[in-house]
Structure 1
């Protein structure tokens, strides 16, 4: 288990090794057992069956795209979108009904997570894909195919091993109309792979690889979690997630 220092506190994760290589299990704090199971499936994909073939050798990466937290205030969300005039309005903390209402009142494409679109496939113009949350590259691609909407890939990995899965998803999609990202800022100061293999943009792009880099022993050693209580908590989460597979 590893922890990478970050501005908002350490980012935790567990590396999963299989016959094909490595994967990363790093669900967000407070994740349900069901969500953790999806993250575990995503972590097992590159370490067992591997990722689908890439259709592009690199993917465009942009800065962190502002999100619009809807909550209970649709009017405030609409005002914010109209003032910011983004290329796509990425809504969070919203229902399908709220997304549909906002979509009718703004002139830019509206994007929501795939889970929101499950309630109403017509509530948005763009589907937000997160590799870990959707259970891996293949499952995310199938979800996008069923919805038939343009995709916005948002990186959710903690280390370069996890981010590589997000890049693999973006590289395998038939169409990629929006820049992906963002690359976690904390990777500039800490990672579990060697500095030469740590993911960083070059001219606004990240390279797509057939499999993630393996951990570097020295750098992983610097990130190892030694707090017994934290390790026990994550082991229990892994056990519950595995029981659902």
Structure 2
């Protein structure tokens, strides 16, 4: 256990306040229509444990470490009280782009999902074209392929999307070696390559930086084990960063916002406006973008909303069992 890691609460301590919610999404995203999350309250306030369902117990234990860090340890000093955020455009048809962007008032940057396995490149081009038309020439567009292309596909796609003046391309390919190769191939185009999955789902989150395979890193507090560990990774990598969310509730977004507030240099708009993708939240005062930014603050869940969006006995039991397994992995790693 690192010197600044929060002591691990007992499983009973976590379960004493645990609530599991199932929040509907406005638009299907990451293949889901409902986002489930477990929330519990620590001495510092409410915190979130919400690894995606397909993640194994080892990965989930990092998310639990982040929840404990945020709920049981005072955060590092904040350097800013508002975080500029980007709009997030799922894999929608071009006619739906305007409605999506309207949910992100004041945002000057849009991240557009591309590279979906069921869609042709022409659909990605049409979506990005619609976003450029909506934002105008001064808007910023970044695209995210979630590692969905091989190197040749990525090169072809980046050429096709380059006329829309891309800020960067996020995780065009799955592996560090592929990221390094595509970076070389498109270097002359001046379009930076960002790494996301190669940081948060890697055994060594610094490997992509050490290999020179990315120009910037997308950093997420929950998958990386919490604010303090994420800050150490940022310092060691020495690259610009974008702090992003994992489709969290506003409780989890508060953790991401506090991480972004503690980063010494924040040159890019952050991916922390995703409460706008939720059709419901756990608080009456969600962390929605206002004038293109979200506040840095703790979030207090509303008991009536926790009840309304309760995930039900079967899913709650599933999350309790998962919490127990992740807790055992984390306890073993810290022993």
Per the TM superposition, whether the score is higher than 0.5 is: yes
Q: 1:235 aligns with which of 307, 320, 323?
A: 320
Q: CA 1:14 to 1:69, structure 2 compared with 1: closer, same or farther past 3 Å?
A: closer
Q: 2:68 aligns with which of 44, 53, 74?
A: 44
Corresponding residue of 2:129: none
Give, in whole Å, the separation in 1 of the partners of 2:274 and 2:192: 23
Q: Does 1:224 align with 2:310?
A: yes
Answer whether contact 1:42 1:135 (CA < 8 A) is retained.
yes
CA drift at 1:154: 1.6
Give, in whole Å, the separation in 2 of the partners of 1:33 and 1:22: 22
Give, in whole Å, the separation in 2 of the partners of 1:170 and 1:72: 29
Q: CA 1:156 to 1:72, structure 2 compared with 1: closer, same or farther past 3 Å?
A: closer
CA drift at 1:137: 1.0
Give, in whole Å, the separation in 2 of the partners of 1:170 and 1:233: 32
* Structure 2: gaps of 5 or more residues: 1-19, 89-110, 112-142, 331-335
Corresponding residue of 1:110: 193
CA drift at 1:244: 1.8
* Structure 1: gaps of 5 or more residues: none
Q: Aligned pair count?
A: 239
Q: Does 1:67 align with 2:144?
A: yes
Instruction: Name the SS for the 2:37 alignment partner.
Output: strand
Corresponding residue of 1:3: 22
Instruction: Name the SS for the 1:146 alignment partner.
Output: helix
Corresponding residue of 1:169: 259
Answer whether contact 1:19 1:47 (CA < 8 A) is retained.
yes
CA drift at 1:92: 5.2
Give, in whole Å, the separation in 1 of the partners of 2:259 and 2:280: 24
Instruction: Name the SS for the 2:54 alignment partner.
Output: coil
CA drift at 1:46: 2.1
Q: CA 1:133 to 1:69, structure 2 compared with 1: closer, same or farther past 3 Å?
A: closer
Instruction: Name the SS for the 1:184 alignment partner.
Output: helix
CA drift at 1:93: 5.1
Highest CA radius of gyration, 1 or 2? 2
Answer whether contact 2:149 2:172 (CA < 8 A) is retained.
no
The list of structure 1 runs, each at least 4 consecutive aligned residues, that deviate by more than 6 angstroms after superposition, is none
Q: Alpha carbon RMSD of aligned pairs, Å?
A: 1.7
Give, in whole Å, the separation in 1 of the partners of 2:159 and 2:264: 30
Q: Does 1:83 align with 2:160?
A: yes
CA drift at 1:158: 2.1
Answer whether contact 1:4 1:186 (CA < 8 A) is retained.
no
CA drift at 1:19: 1.2
Give, in whole Å, the separation in 1 of the partners of 2:170 and 2:239: 14
CA drift at 1:217: 0.8
Q: CA 1:71 to 1:207, structure 2 compared with 1: closer, same or farther past 3 Å?
A: closer
Answer whether contact 2:150 2:173 (CA < 8 A) is retained.
no
Give, in whole Å, the separation in 1 of the partners of 2:167 and 2:36: 32
Q: Relative to structure 2, which stretch is displaced further, 163-172 or 110-119?
A: 110-119
